[in-house]
Structure 1
Amino acid sequence: MAFMPWRLKYLAKMAQGASYSTLLKRTMAFKSAISLETLYPTSSLKLTTPAFTPDPKEKFSGFIPMEKLDITYSASSGPGGQNVNKVHTKVDLRFKLSEADWIDPEIREKMLELHGKKLTKDGYLIIRSDTTRSQQLNLADCLQKLRNLIRDAAVTQREPSPDTQERIRQRHLKAARLRVALKREDSLKRGLRQPPTVVDL
């Protein structure tokens, strides 16, 4: 049996009761040795939020609860052949900023002040990403954009000291005087360029 041609093997197995389509699928099926199922047999691509206890002293630690976000996927634009029409890799991440209790109230108010024009009529902040052809990478890009927005709003501007304010005022005065002097110099140059007038004697 081991030396029979492969067609005769199929005929022999079909005679034993196995269907040809099942045998063909088993023969044509191929799994790479470095596939995700082989390397990580117990892993899953499902989005879950790990257990995390934020530090009360820190306004934002970078942790974003996934269950508080509304994430949708759609077909991405740009080059990619037929695959771009089949795979939904574009990520839209949205949440209602005014009801985001997982963001510090001070940071939330600052974000409303900075990004109020970007909100929808219902008050949702939308972050999109379609930079790659991977759904997971685009989602990670959206989350990183959201972290950057929160961290930018968390930065507090320190009040300058009186000495610093005086130095800034002196610089502004010096710049204003220099601007006026340059304008006067340009005015004199334009006056010298005028043609001479003929005086009747």
Structure 2
Amino acid sequence: MIAVGPDFELPDEDLEFRFKRSTGPGGQHVNKTDSAVELRFRVHACAALKPETRDRLCRIARKRISREGVLIIHAQRFRSQERNREDALARLAELLREAERPPAPRIPTRPTRASRERRLSGKKARGQRKQGRGRMRWPSDDG
């Protein structure tokens, strides 16, 4: 179990770790060790998530979720596999904590008088512009 919050834990079976070679500089060491970590979390298969939290998580991390509903986090900031694993778990926990928080309620506001007047004058100008696109009437066309 991985503790995400004070009253929320994530079962280990919902997480999958894949290890691969890290990119970037590092000398000979980087060519022979799998220090980068790819954390895969099945969002839709996790029973520990509440439906509202799952929906918010999908909205927050939509670019990181595959078509199959798997959240993928790449961690290769550190040179050791263990630190990258901890980094990936910390980033997942932060995403889940953010998804747990309900969004702030929208406070309805009224438009100002100046903004209403700008909107109406813009509408009037567009209407006159469109009116000018019509067929021209010449004084000799009356007959």
Q: Shorter-chain-normalised TM-score: which range?
A: 0.5 to 0.7
1:142 to 88, 100, 110: 88
2:15 to 62, 65, 69: 69
With normalisation by structure 2, the TM-score equals 0.68
Superposition pairs of residues 1-201 of structure 1, within 5 angstroms:
49=1, 58=7, 61=8, 63-161=9-107, 165-166=109-110, 169-170=111-112, 173=115, 177=118
Task: Specify whether residues 161 and 113 from structure 1 end up closer, same or farther in structure 2 by C-alpha distance, changes over 3 A only.
Answer: closer
Task: Specify whether residues 171 and 111 from structure 1 end up closer, same or farther in structure 2 by C-alpha distance, changes over 3 A only.
Answer: farther
Structure with bigger helix share is 1
Structure with bigger strand share is 2
How large is the Cα RMSD of the aligned pairs? 3.0
**What is the letter of the counterpart of residue 145 of structure 1?**
R
After TM superposition, which residue ranges in structure 1, 4 or more long, deviate above 6 angstroms? none
1:84-143 alpha-carbon deviations (Å, 9 max, x no partner): 111111000002211111222210022223333432232211101000101111011111
Pick the structure with greater CA Rg.
1
Match in the other structure for 2:136: none
Higher RCO (CA < 8 A, seq sep 6+): 2
Task: Specify whether residues 139 and 105 from structure 1 end up closer, same or farther in structure 2 by C-alpha distance, changes over 3 A only.
Answer: same
The 2-side partners of 1:172 and 1:70 are apart by 56
Task: Specify whether residues 152 and 170 from structure 1 end up closer, same or farther in structure 2 by C-alpha distance, changes over 3 A only.
Answer: farther
- Deviation, structure 1 residue 83: 0.7
Contact 2:64–2:73 (Cα < 8 Å) also in 1: no
With normalisation by structure 1, the TM-score equals 0.50
**What is the letter of the counterpart of residue 159 of structure 1?**
P
Aligned length: 120
